[in-house]
Amino acid sequence: MKSHFRQVALIGKYHAAVSGSAAGSARPALDDIAQFLHSEGCDVVVERETAATVGITGYTTLDLPAIGAQCDLVLVVGGDGTMLGIGRQLAEFGVPLIGINQGRLGFITDIPLDQYRATLTPMLRGEYEEDHRSLMHARVMRDGRCVFDALAMNDVVVNRGATSGMVELKVEVDGHFVANQRADGLIVASPTGSTAYALSAGGPLLHPSTPGWVLVPIAPHTLSNRPIVLPDSSEIAIELVSGRDASANFDMQSLASLLKGDRITVRRSQHRVRFLHPRGWSYFDTLRLKLHWNEGN
């Protein structure tokens, strides 16, 4: 059978491969996957920076916008952090992504590297589950001007400075005042991000199909400040009332320094990320595996 996907792009964890040893360890896996895709009848493209850093030759190379515009499928080899960055950049193109886990947890890169051949073979023939994930569009507003604009798949986090005390944050939802919170920070997480920092801070798990965000305070001064689930049709605004050296993080991959009076607005992006999973994939299977539920039973 021919592959369901004609042109397939391969992207590696090139940001981690800054040392020669890291690049060297990534190359055999990427070479092997590229050869496998070729044997399955796919026209293989390697992301340009991946190819240059890891040293793969013999394949067409494209940058990310060109991959989004031209390719039918993208394979991301790395961990969840790699997938977060690639997913944000390719969401506007609607190209589906498959994650091959070369990291640790692997909530969204769910195919183990040592099982990729057996798992990908039926997927390339069209046997897969499709899973859409919402993105957050966040902006930092200062004196009525946007000074920072970013997408996030996991979370938007307002944090206190490393050496300063708590921050005070004014929270609004759709223009309605919610509360002034004194805490170490505040997390706005998507369902995808509900298993990340928000979970560590005591937030609930949200199923990926839930059209909502979770608002989770980090070490709040008042213990009655609890996590709350909000519809993702809402716009959340967080204003820095007081606190030195505060910052806003977007998927922990981009950062904006905040000044008193800055407002961080979060709304649902018009773009969503498309993930493909093996046939029979279940979110609950992922939770059991990654969170070690039922161990010892």
pLDDT at residue 102, as a whole number: 85
118 shares a domain with 29: yes
Which token pair is 91?
């969401």
Q: What is the pLDDT of residues 40-53, one digit of tens each?
A: 999 999 999 999 99
120 shares a domain with 158: no
User: Do 30 and 93 contact (CB within 8 A), yes or no?
Assistant: no
100 shares a domain with 147: no
239 shares a domain with 141: yes
Q: How far is CA 167 from the centre of its chain?
A: 26
Q: Is 56 exposed, middle or buried (0-12, 13-18, 19+ CB in 10 A)?
A: buried
Q: What is the pLDDT of residues 207-252, one digit of tens each?
A: 999 999 999 999 999 988 999 999 999 999 999 999 989 999 999 9
- Nearest C-alpha neighbor of 266 from the set 293, 292, 248: 248
- Active site residue: 31, 80, 110, 262, which one? 80
Angle 116-120-125 (CA atoms, 0-180°, nearest 5)? 170
Inside any domain, residue 109: yes
| CATH number of residue 40's parent domain | 3.40.50.10330
Residue 131 known to be catalytic: no
140 shares a domain with 116: no
Of 126, 159, 185, which residue sits at a domain end? 126
151 shares a domain with 85: no
DSSP bridge partners of 272: 134
Q: What is the pLDDT of residues 190-203, one digit of tens each?
A: 999 999 999 999 99
Q: What is the pLDDT of residues 62-79, one digit of tens each?
A: 999 999 999 999 999 999
What DSSP line would sit under 189-214, residue for residue?
Answer: E-TGGGGTHHHHTTPPP--TT--EEE
CB atoms within 10 A of CB 132: 12
**Cα–Cα distance between 191 and 204 in angstroms, integer?**
9
142 shares a domain with 263: yes
How many domains are contained in the chain?
2
Of 103, 126, 149, which residue sits at a domain end? 126
101 shares a domain with 170: no
Inside any domain, residue 144: yes
Is the model's pLDDT at 23 over the cut of 80?
no
**Cα–Cα distance between 262 and 180 in angstroms, integer?**
15
Q: Which residues contact 78 (CB under 8 A, 6 or more apart)?
A: 11, 12, 13, 16, 99, 100, 101, 102, 103, 109
Inside any domain, residue 252: yes
Q: What is the pLDDT of residues 121-140, one digit of tens each?
A: 999 999 999 999 999 999 99
**Cα–Cα distance between 262 and 94 in angstroms, integer?**
33
pLDDT at residue 248, as a whole number: 97
pLDDT at residue 25, as a whole number: 65
184 shares a domain with 73: no
143 shares a domain with 121: no
Of the pLDDT bands very low, low, confident and very high (cuts 50, 70, 90), residue 17 is very low
171 shares a domain with 230: yes
13 shares a domain with 49: yes
Domain ranges, residue 121? 7-126
Is the model's pLDDT at 14 over the cut of 70?
no
| CATH number of residue 248's parent domain | 2.60.200.30
Of the pLDDT bands very low, low, confident and very high (cuts 50, 70, 90), residue 104 is confident
DSSP category for residue 112: E
pLDDT at residue 1, as a whole number: 57
Which token pair is 283?
């979110």
Q: What is the pLDDT of residues 249-286, one digit of tens each?
A: 999 999 999 999 999 999 999 999 999 999 999 999 98
